[in-house]
Amino acid sequence: MFQTASRELEDWFKSNLERGCTLDQLHESLLQAGYAADFAADYLRQRSGGAWQPAAAPAGSRASASTGDTTAGAGAGSGLDIDGRDICSAATLTDHSSKPALEAWWARCDELAAATRVTLGDRAAQITGRHARNGIFYLRGVLSPGECDAMIEASAARIRGSTVVDPTTGQFVPDARRSSFGTHFERGADPVVKAVEQRLAVLSGLPEPNGEGLQILHYRVGGEYRPHFDYFDPATPGCALQLKHGGQRLLTIILYLNDVEGGGGTVFPELGLEFLPEKGAALMFASMTREGALQPQSLHGGSPVTSGVKWIATRWIRVGAYV
């Protein structure tokens, strides 16, 4: 399961059961509240000890049971295709700092909120977890296993102790909050990186030039990234320097490059959410609100790896072109 059950959800489940709701009714409520079909079905199946099954989805329903780790069929366009509808226009504008541009971008997120399958130009992916109000989506199958392996292989010999941005100087410095190793790819560094960047532009609805170079992170047992914000705090002088390069970070996309044996989930402590790494999956979340303010609920961290290793690639995407 990718979206874990929060305490809030458990309380909701118990109180509704006590007041006499059926599991079918609770299933319907979860879907209406925006939970992914897979998550809602798994959750209720588990809570009923396996006794409950969702009713078969009607033909054409969004609640598809397909696993979706397939490439797009012939005829797929270069834009985002959501459940068969083409939603590609949002990526044409470079500067998303204006109110109308942000509104258009959020409207596109709302389209994603109702979808289960998307086609990202050359590849089909499945949305299996979401918190749509905050622009958080978990998608399976965004990268092929071969792309994941190629990115790990190209990084393995180059990784170094990770750094964070010093809020005072704006320089990258080592920090105990981030016990991982990393490197990065220049934009368009090789054909795999190019293909991935193009796909992420389609997924995000933000143009390729707004993306920073992909950051690769490698965690060993005990490695973690304590909760932080990906946005820059405009109140600190070092971050003001960062803002000169394309403005604020609007969006983060974390790509999971391997299956992790134990731990290593990405958590949102303010929302009670955790997303577990799965090779080829992507976690996308917004660092800004619909009004263009910084989003405090975007606080997120990488839980300690308890067994095995974890490899991710992170794409931070600015409101304007990253220069």
Which parts of this chain interact with ligand PD2 (CB under 6 A)?
217, 225, 230, 252, 254, 266, 300-302, 312, 314
* CA-closest candidate to residue 267, choices 119, 118, 173, 138: 138
Residue 268 CB, shortest distance to ligand PD2, in Å, is: 10
Q: Which does 301 bind (CB under 5 to 8 A by kind): Zn ion, ligand PD2, none?
A: ligand PD2
For tokens 């399961």, name the residue. Answer: 1
Q: Is 224 in the site for Zn ion (CB under 5 A)?
A: no
Dig out the tokens for 241 from the structure. 């320097």
The amino acid at 314: T
Residue 318 CB, shortest distance to ligand PD2, in Å, is: 14
- Residue number with CB closer to ligand PD2 (196 or 217): 217
Residue 259 CB, shortest distance to ligand PD2, in Å, is: 14
What's the first-to-final CA gap in the chain, in angstroms? Answer: 38
Contact pick of 38, 81, 224, 230 for Zn ion (by CB under 5 A): 230
- Residue number with CB closer to ligand PD2 (54 or 264): 264
Q: Alpha-carbon distance 136 to 272, whole Å?
A: 13
Dig out the tokens for 152 from the structure. 């790990």
- Residue number with CB closer to ligand PD2 (252 or 295): 252
* CA-closest candidate to residue 313, choices 177, 211, 242, 232: 211
Q: Which does 295 bind (CB under 5 to 8 A by kind): Zn ion, ligand PD2, none?
A: none
Query: Residue 181 pairs with which residues in a beta bridge?
Result: 161, 218
Q: Which does 217 bind (CB under 5 to 8 A by kind): ligand PD2, Zn ion, none?
A: ligand PD2
Q: Alpha-carbon distance 318 to 321, whole Å?
A: 7
Question: Rule CB under 5 A: which residues touch Zn ion?
Answer: 230
